[in-house]
Amino acid sequence: MAELELIALNKSFGPTEVIRDVNVTAKDGEFVVLVGPSGCGKSTLLRLIAGLEKVSDGTILIDGQDVTHDSDRDLAMVFQSYALYPHMTVAENMSFALENMKIAKDEIQRRVAEAAKLLQIDMLLDRRPKALSGGQRQRVAIGRAIVRDPKIFLFDEPLSNLDAELRVSMRKELARLHAKIGGTMIYVTHDQVEAMTLADRIVVLRAGRVEQIGTPMDLYLNPVNKFVAGFIGSPM
Ligand code: ADP
Ligand code: MG
């Protein structure tokens, strides 16, 4: 099981408060989507969860365990920029983190082969990133997260660099992937349709604060204010 709890989370960069009193719980296997305008703190919140930024105040629990000050958390993050190593092949990109985790070679090969098949990149394992399309690169980035078999996946606008048509098909694939591999997903996007179709629950952020949390239907039918309504596209 993997429940993620953010309790009274705050983050400042110098005098600038970027995350303000955020309280969110993601249940085991839940697909939680963070939405909000550019600069509202979505990436910062993910980076706090990932342990890439230090929390200024508040607590992060994973399965009830306080990990606020732990550097090693059982999660994997997929970035908007893919962040692939250009000099490594697809297979090497996917296995690199596992080699540092001292996992046996045949187990690494098994995981890479399985994830590659799942993502339909098994015919690309010997290529380098520059010989891949944008969509293929994003699959490799997702594959690199999957092979770690984490309890929690963090996605920071993973589809925003893809063209509209590919975004739609990747969105469907992500939903299928989640149904297949499970895991708790925290997914950042500024795309309403993506949020509405993928989310079990949506968290609407504005200037570092949570405006509303609810199912896509909740937010659509009962937005707490015009900001949420505008963001979700409901007719309020
Ligand atoms: P979003 O992902 O929602 O677009 P970010 O989390 O990237 O927003 O940024 C939220 C705010 O925090 C922005 O005003 C940004 O300039 C600021 N910020 C993010 N990272 C840093 C940093 N390392 N130092 C100072 N300010 C930062
Ligand atoms: Mg961002």
pLDDT tens per residue across span 131-168: 999 889 999 999 999 999 899 999 999 888 888 888 89
Q: Measured from the CB, is residue 12 less than 6 Å from ligand 1? A: no
Nearest protein Cα to ligand 1, atom 24: 13
The dihedral sign for the CA sequence 7, 13, 17, 19:
negative
Task: Note residues around ion ligand 2 (Cβ under 5 angstroms).
Answer: 42-43
Question: What ipTM did this prediction achieve?
Answer: 0.98
Confidence (pTM): 0.93
Give the separation between CA 48 and CA 221, rounded to whole angstroms. Answer: 31
Q: Measured from the CB, is residue 208 less than 6 Å from ligand 1? A: no
Reported confidence tier of residue 112, pLDDT bands at 50, 70, 90: very high
Q: Which of 165, 212, 186, 183 is CA-nearest to residue 49?
A: 186
Q: Measured from the CB, is residue 22 less than 6 Å from ligand 1? A: no
Per-residue pLDDT of 3-37, as tens digits, reads: 999 999 999 999 999 999 999 999 999 999 999 99
Q: Measured from the CB, is residue 38 less than 6 Å from ligand 1? A: yes
